[in-house]
Structure 1
């Protein structure tokens, strides 16, 4: 079956997630710099989560661009990913409002781990559908970057029990790793189209 509706629905959900997050930034009733300082933790957690949602949107777009079709399993895997992405506004607000307290930071990490696992499941099902020699399979390879990221999330959850700010810093490091655009799929698509033109 075609992938158009899945892409459109996913884009809509991600747009709503970002909208919900920004609504958590309450406008101060006081027109002073001190009032803005109180918003610091909320804004910092919002920036991190905005980057994460942007990363997922970017990679999701590239992954589906490399796919030619979807099936029922892919549709449900995509819903599973969207479910965990939809929890990002909740844990973001909770973490920011409580100034990066231990339990909210742990829960934020759990949501990040589950997003990572859900994305991996979606990717594996798309590769299974298109074959091990598909553009997507060749572009992803062993997905070392994804596995390292999941490992850092898990380690950060453990570190949260010792110091939540260090764990938050680890979440930030993973975001910075993925902020550099992952061009594997773009390169493979370009190579594939070049091969077709030659033949």
Structure 2
């Protein structure tokens, strides 16, 4: 099976997730700027979650770009990822409405952690389908940044019950770490094209 329907379905779900999150931004009753102040935690949590969904959409697109075909395991792994991402609007709203309190902040981290694990599972399912010499397998390499993200999430979750502010700082740090475009797949594609061109020239 090709990847077209999988990517289209995933894009649609991610778009709905963003739409649900923005609907949580309630219009204040007052017409003065101070009326916006109570909304600040909600807006900040929305911005953080929007960035995370954007990161997943970007990396998911790149991953499927080098995927030739999918099987049932890949489809279920992708649904597993979308399940955890679909919970982002709920934990975003709960955290924002409660001024980044301990329990909502910890649950936010749990969802981020499980989404990261689900993305890792999806990567491995695709590599198992495509082979260890596939473009994706070569692009992933040791995946240091992905493993580091899991460690930071795992540390931030219990920390939320001691210092929620530090937990949110760690969540933001991971987002900033991934906000810089991940060029591993693009570099691998460029190297593959260069090898193909060199092979063609040698054949001529």
Q: Same fold (TM over 0.5)?
A: yes
Matches within 5 A, 1:127-146: 127-146=127-146
Q: With structure 1 as the length reference, what TM-score do the two structures score?
A: 0.99
Indicate the residue corresponding to 2:202 in structure 1. Answer: none
Q: Which residue is 1:93 aligned to?
A: 93
Q: State the partner residue of 1:18.
A: 18
Output the CA distance in 2 between the equivalents of 1:8 and 1:198. Answer: 34
Larger Rg: 2
- 1:158-177 mapped onto 2 (5 Å cutoff): 158-177=158-177
The answer to which of 114-123 and 189-198 deviates more is: 189-198
1:103 paired with 2:103, answer yes
Aligned residues: 199
User: For residue 64 of structure 2, what is the aligned residue in structure 1?
Assistant: 64
Q: Report what 2:124 is aligned to.
A: 124
CA distance in 2: counterparts of 1:160 and 1:169, whole angstroms? 10
CA distance in 2, matches of 1:166, 1:32: 32
2:55 paired residue number: 55
Q: Runs of 5+ in structure 1 lacking a partner? A: none
Structure 1 outlier segments of 4+, above 6 Å: none
**Deviation per residue, 1:111-166 (Å, 9 max, x gap):** 00000000000000101111111110011011110010011001000111111111
Which structure 2 residue ranges, 5 or more long, are not aligned?
Answer: 200-204
